[in-house]
Structure 1
Amino acid sequence: MNGAAPAGQHGQSKAMLVLLGILWGLNWPAVKVALSGVSPWALRSIGLSAATCAVFALGLLRGRQLAIRSGRERMHIAVAGLLNVAVFNIVLTFAQLGAATSRVAIITYSMPLWSVLFARIALGERLDRLRACGLLLGAGGLAVLLWPLLGKGMPQGVLLALAAALTWAAGTVYTKWARLRSEPLAVAAWQLLIGALVALTGLLSFEGWPHWHGLAPQVLAALGYHILFGMALGYLLWFNIVARMPAGVASLGTLLVPVVGICGAVVLLGERPDASDLWGFALIFCAALCVLLPGGVAARRHAH
């Protein structure tokens, strides 16, 4: 009896991870469709607000301590929220307006490579052979992907996708450097709230309150999917998974997201990635595997 429960929980966690990969993967084409009728500021305001409410509700249902009492922790959470949630999500949404969804997804998921590089600089983490190989593969993948675009003029969406990956990586390393001691669910909830407030501030400053009448049915359907499944249910699943599985295994499982996202862009949006996109994706995917595999996840710091 005692041995069956953990095995059952592990199987359930893996199923949740697959479901999350599908939900977040399909969120890429959903966002692209929603952006045909809704502005990036409005999309992120409502999406991040839904995720914030869902995660706070989860914390309250679990009886977790959601208050952040330390001033130092509040400051670090505010900076991490700006990098990990606000800037990342907003820049990424604008990126999808200026480039193909599949290409944006490929570039965004170069994030693990940048996080390894930033961790080497900021945290002194050593580069073992696996992670060094990952960096080389990732650099090769980005070169294959971006080289054909240089002669034509780099699309703004590609540059914004790269900026989103860099911001996500910087926020991840910053959070690690800050060594936050607060309840992880509280840290996540407050970061999401910061992201929602920044997006709402941008919306009201640049556009004013949105008007939802007259939206095409496919835009409404995509917006509903993004709010309910991509954000609210997606984040609920993610924090349930993180609570059940090692962080490295959970992160490795998220590599399903760009695969589903690219397939979704091909099937639902009619995109046709060219050879450089596919080769670049293959190299970046293998690079992320090298970084996220157990040997690459372990942080090896210099001995003092």
Structure 2
Amino acid sequence: MILNGGSAFESAGHVDVTEQVGLLFRSCHDHNVQNSTDPFRRDYGRTITEYGRSTRRRFQSVTGKDERRMITMKKLALAVTAALGISALAAGPAAALSLDAAPSGSVPTDESHSSESGAAEEEGSEDDPKSHDEDLALRYATMTLYEVAHGKGIEYTVDGLKAGDVVTTSLNDKKSVVKKDGPFDGSVVVDEEPDVPTALPFMVYVERDGERVREMSTSVDLMAEGDRGEYDDGTLLMNPEEDTNDTALGTDGVNLTMVNCSAEDEVVFRVFKKNTDGQTKVWEKRQLAGEDESASVRYIADSSKDLWGNYVITAECGGLEDSAPLQVYIDE
């Protein structure tokens, strides 16, 4: 139920204000949507419910003799009405028409975000081709000047593609056709070896049925020289390695690669944030290891939350497991 401009209070006069606030409270409570999977509706619902409870308690203490207090209480109730209306509008046209309507899609909870490899993308998520940076990950986020221009060059993985999709990059005109649904492993070789070690940004594009459905950006950190050496089985590679700031975590994210698994192993990546009670899982993603016996994903945090703090990132494949700490500080 959505009240319009406090008209319920104007029509009720001073006779039964508590009943009118009760209506508001119940409306707020309905809008709370305790089991909603939509974090936006859930968070606003909690706030509005608290407004309703507070306002109802205050109204119950009002007497007909205290007109000044009555006016104050009516203003508080109008604030509840306004908050309810704003929340309904923010939740979208469907929510504004019916607060009891179920959400139209499955949205991960705040505590755990999970993406299964090979799962088809929701239709609505393809509307914005630039909203899929988290689906692009690099096998090695740091490479030498020689590596990017020789051999396989820059190796990358794009999650959630469909058979027949065409993948290209901004570094050359090479086109790759996806053979099966799920993660796609691609590579691109730079035409000329770079002169200086710096960041090498590039784009990856996905076309489906002749229409571009994804534009994803990433960057490789170049170093003059170095020896990658050999990794143990089931080694987690993370970039940045030890720390980053909250702005970067919510935009560029963290590149994660689990190497030396068995091909077709399911690799499970998880991110935990430490707190006073121990740690809480905030993200999870699964991907099948490719022919190169590795899996690469990208964790981009929700920038609307407080991201600073200490994290632990884990990866598993087969019976192998590895972990790495990550410290996130406030970007000043």
Query: Which TM-score bucket, shorter chain as reference?
Result: under 0.3
TM-score by length of 1: 0.20
TM-score by length of 2: 0.19
Which of 1 and 2 has higher RCO (CA within 8 Å, sep 6+)?
1
**Which has the larger share of helix?**
1
**Which has the larger share of strand?**
2
Looking at CA atoms only, which structure, 1 or 2, has the larger radius of gyration? Answer: 2
